[in-house]
């Protein structure tokens, strides 16, 4: 008799071949056979029982972001499936491969409006690069293999719907295989020398050049910094590229727009040339001057010329191309433009340090970031939620180039911090992991603090509580609208954490901060998660997209009011540094 294997087990063995060692989900009648297979395979693949499928879906997306291996989550038919949707769109927007497995009623009951049944494939085809319903038990492993290959090849989420009966049949043990060992991604080289020399000519003739880098330059930090120094070109990163360049690099201007830094926004108003590398920056149409010379390097032909009229468009690998620029180009003379921006960065850093060191007045968010920087290990992982906490983290985390930094990028899903931290700790159990969230986002997913407890995941959760949706509150202020719908009820997140078996710490004063974070480190080293609820004032972070500092643009009374509100007496506009360095 031919040897057979359970189809559900074969499906999981296929996932394992793609380096999947954990999977998120919640049981349900239409995924029972998958659950039984997970029980049989529990020594090879770990089932993570989340409290909400959305958390599992977002964690799966974070898995891929952090490891490069496919993240996987499942939900049962009907509501379990639709709860996966938020993670699916998050993956679609950030172009992240992920696999979502959806339960379905047994085949004999399909298409009869049975309990929790709906036609799932049309729903998922919008977000997914692949969406199929398995038709035979024998094809189940193959369809999962196909879904993962499509997810990687097309940079997005894939969906496989499995009728419950098809995950519990005997199929030939030699009747399926995985393509994981054969999968390869296209490898691009540097751009053609002709194009690189054309770009170098434009750079040499520019008076105020910038290099703007995105996630396509992950792993190319050294090349970016060498390029910047060699050609005297300050560096801007996207917010999602926060982790790439060490915070202390002298010419790192930060990111632009609102979730951004002062030096980057100011430099963008002055530049006459941009080298745009490995990015599909969505705010380009708003932030980039239409008349600048524009050079673009990207490995994706779909984005070449997408965000700006482009003078030189190079389809190539970012790292290799920057290496070739460095090889072919001559060293630039010391640049007054570069020096002025270096001074501007130093002044901006000093402002942020002063804010983090404040001990008077009501408690603000900055002192908490001082403690996070103090206790962060060299390879710490930061999972950042959406809202004010995003822009504050962009400005204040002093990353060293070895600390992954993830959030929900283009879709900006609130509640993403905690799932990302769970994914980080599962994939890297020996590394320090932070979940940083505002109270609005924390309230959305705080039930899954119990997941951290259940699986002994020592994560440092920090909640910034200001009893408001601060990011939206500031938008309403900018639009001269009375605040409406943005207030949040006071919530004791420390007690909510304690109710789920986790240590909760509340901080209301600056002098409580150090002890709280020291305790968090102590608990983490003992293998325990912790939540620190930092009760902060609802003062607005400085709006770097609406700077009111330049005396050539604003009267002194307006400037003084801005400085008073944002404690910015010593903050100097770029225009002043340009004058000091005689930059016209």
Active site includes 223?
no
Please state, in angstroms and as integers, the Cα–Cα distance from residue 573 to each residue in 12, 287, 543, 544, following that order: 58, 18, 14, 11
Euclidean distance between CA atoms 521 and 497, whole angstroms: 17
**Catalytic pick among 53, 266, 452, 473:** 53
Q: In the numeric block, which tokens belong to residue 169?
A: 């049949």
Q: For the beta carbon of residue 267, count every other beta carbon within 10 angstroms.
A: 28
The CATH number linked to 265 is: 3.40.50.1220
**Last residue in a domain, options 147, 182, 217:** 182
432 with 368, same domain: the answer is yes
Coil/strand/helix, residue 530 = strand
**Catalytic pick among 362, 475, 477, 522:** 475
101 with 203, same domain: the answer is no
Euclidean distance between CA atoms 485 and 482, whole angstroms: 10
**Catalytic pick among 16, 44, 51, 116:** 116
Active site includes 386?
yes
Q: Is residue 209 part of a domain?
A: yes
170 with 210, same domain: the answer is no
Q: Is residue 508 part of a domain?
A: yes
Euclidean distance between CA atoms 234 and 229, whole angstroms: 8
Active site includes 116?
yes
Coil/strand/helix, residue 581 = coil
Active site includes 53?
yes
Taking each helix axis as running N to C, give the angle between helix 366-375 and helix 513-525, from 0 to 180 degrees, rounded to the nearest 10. 40
Active site includes 134?
no
Q: pTM value?
A: 0.96
421 with 334, same domain: the answer is no
Cβ neighbors of 404 (< 8 A, separation 6 or more) are: 65, 66, 243, 381, 382, 424
**Catalytic pick among 471, 493, 517, 577:** 471
**Catalytic pick among 132, 149, 258, 364:** 258
Euclidean distance between CA atoms 42 and 62, whole angstroms: 22
81 with 203, same domain: the answer is no
Please state, in angstroms and as integers, the Cα–Cα distance from residue 448 to each residue in 39, 387, 494, 502, 544, following that order: 22, 20, 14, 11, 34
Q: Is residue 572 part of a domain?
A: no
pLDDT of residue 109: 63
Active site includes 115?
yes
Active site includes 258?
yes
pLDDT of residue 529: 98
Please state, in angstroms and as integers, the Cα–Cα distance from residue 336 to each residue in 208, 255, 256, 343, 413, following that order: 9, 22, 22, 10, 41
Q: Is residue 542 part of a domain?
A: no
28 with 177, same domain: the answer is yes
Q: For the beta carbon of residue 305, count every other beta carbon within 10 angstroms.
A: 13
Question: In which residue are the tokens 């970031």 written?
Answer: 369
pLDDT of residue 2: 66
- Kind and range of the H or E run holding 162: strand 157-163
What is the DSSP code (8-state) at residue 165?
A: G
Per the CB < 8 A criterion, the answer to whether 378 and 403 are in contact is yes
Q: Is residue 557 part of a domain?
A: no
**Catalytic pick among 386, 389, 462, 583:** 386
280 with 336, same domain: the answer is yes
324 with 469, same domain: the answer is no
| C-alpha closest to that of 389 among 562, 541, 545 | 541
106 with 227, same domain: the answer is no
Q: In the numeric block, which tokens belong to residue 236?
A: 């801007």
DSSP calls for 456-494: T---EEEEEE-SB-HHHHHHHHHTT----S-B-----HH
Q: In the numeric block, which tokens belong to residue 29?
A: 């009648």
Euclidean distance between CA atoms 60 and 420, whole angstroms: 8
118 with 262, same domain: the answer is no
* Bridge-based pairing state of the strands 170-172 and 4-6: antiparallel
**Last residue in a domain, options 161, 182, 203:** 182
DSSP calls for 61-125: HHHHHHHSSPEEEEE-TTHHHHHTHHHHHHHHHHT--EEEEEEE--GGGTTS--TT---HHHHHH
pLDDT of residue 1: 46
Per the CB < 8 A criterion, the answer to whether 347 and 254 are in contact is no
**Last residue in a domain, options 149, 182, 215:** 182
- What total number of domains does the chain contain? 3
| Residue ranges in the chain modelled with pLDDT below 50 | 1
Q: Is residue 381 part of a domain?
A: yes
255 with 178, same domain: the answer is no
Q: Is residue 499 part of a domain?
A: yes
pLDDT of residue 283: 87
Euclidean distance between CA atoms 83 and 391, whole angstroms: 28
The strand order across the sheet containing 433-438 reads: 405-406, 381-384, 433-438, 460-465, 530-535, 503-507
Q: Is residue 547 part of a domain?
A: no
Active site includes 472?
yes
**Catalytic pick among 218, 472, 486, 521:** 472
Domain hosting 171: range is: 4-182
378 with 524, same domain: the answer is yes
| C-alpha closest to that of 263 among 337, 338, 345, 339 | 345
pLDDT of residue 115: 59
Question: In which residue are the tokens 């085809």 written?
Answer: 125
The CATH number linked to 87 is: 3.40.50.970
């Amino acid at each position: 008799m031919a040897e057979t294997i359970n189809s559900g087990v074969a499906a999981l063995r296929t996932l394992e071949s793609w380096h999947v060692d954990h999977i998120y989900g919640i049981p349900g009648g239409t995924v029972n056979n998958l659950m039984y297979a997970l029980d049989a395979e529990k020594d090879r693949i770990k089932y993570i029982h989340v409290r909400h499928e959305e958390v599992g879906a977002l964690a799966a997306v974070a898995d891929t972001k952090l490891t490069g291996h496919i993240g996987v989550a499942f939900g049962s038919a009907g509501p379990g499936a639709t709860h996966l949707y938020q993670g699916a769109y998050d993956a679609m927007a950030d172009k992240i491969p992920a696999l979502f497995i959806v339960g379905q009623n047994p085949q004999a009951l399909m298409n009869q409006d049975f309990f929790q049944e709906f036609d799932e494939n049309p729903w998922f085809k919008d977000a997914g690069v692949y969406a199929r319903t398995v038709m035979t038990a024998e094809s189940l492993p193959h369809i999962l293999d196909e879904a993962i290959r499509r997810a990687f090849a097309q940079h997005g989420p894939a969906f496989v719907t499995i009728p419950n009966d098809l995950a519990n049949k005997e199929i030939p043990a030699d009747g399926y295989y995985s393509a994981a060992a054969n999968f390869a991604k296209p490898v691009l080289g540097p751009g053609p020398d002709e194009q690189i020399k054309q770009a170098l000519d434009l750079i040499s003739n520019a008076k105020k050049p910038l290099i703007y880098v995105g996630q396509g330059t992950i792993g190319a930090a050294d090349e970016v910094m060498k390029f910047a120094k060699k050609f005297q070109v300050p560096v801007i990163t996207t917010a999602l590229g926060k982790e790439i360049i060490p915070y202390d690099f002298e010419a790192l201007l930060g990111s632009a727009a609102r979730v951004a830094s002062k030096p980057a926004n100011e430099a963008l108003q002055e530049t006459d040339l941009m080298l745009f590398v490995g990015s599909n920056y969505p705010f380009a149409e708003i932030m980039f001057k239409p008349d600048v010379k524009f050079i673009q390097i990207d490995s994706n032909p779909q984005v070449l010329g997408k965000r700006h009229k482009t003078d030189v468009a190079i389809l190539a690998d970012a790292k290799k191309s920057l290496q070739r620029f460095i090889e072919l180009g001559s060293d630039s003379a010391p640049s007054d433009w570069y020096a002025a921006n270096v001074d501007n960065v130093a002044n901006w850093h000093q402002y942020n340090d002063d804010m983090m060191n404040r001990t008077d007045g009501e408690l603000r968010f900055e002192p908490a970031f001082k403690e996070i920087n103090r206790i962060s290990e060299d390879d710490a992982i930061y999972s950042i939620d959406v809202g004010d906490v995003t822009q504050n983290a962009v400005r204040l985390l002093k990353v060293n180039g070895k600390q992954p930094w993830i959030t929900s990028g283009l879709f900006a899903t609130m509640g993403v911090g905690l799932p990302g931290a769970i994914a980080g700790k599962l994939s890297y159990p020996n590394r320090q992991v932070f979940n940083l969230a505002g109270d609005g986002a924390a309230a959305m997913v705080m039930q899954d603090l119990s997941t951290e407890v259940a699986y002994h995941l020592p994560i440092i959760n920090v909640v910034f509580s200001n009893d408001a949706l601060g990011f939206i509150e500031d938008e309403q202020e900018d639009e001269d609208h009375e605040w409406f719908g943005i207030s949040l009820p006071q919530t004791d997140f420390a007690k909510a954490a304690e109710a789920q078996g986790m240590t909760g710490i509340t901080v209301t004063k600056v002098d409580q901060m150090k002890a709280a974070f020291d305790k968090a480190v102590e608990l983490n080293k003992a293998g325990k998660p912790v939540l620190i609820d930092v009760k902060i004032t609802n003062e607005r972070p400085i709006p770097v997209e609406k700077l009111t500092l330049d005396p050539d643009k604003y009267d002194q009374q307006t400037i003084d009011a801005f400085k008073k509100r944002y404690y910015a007496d010593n903050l100097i506009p770029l225009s002043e540094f340009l004058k000091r360095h005689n930059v016209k």
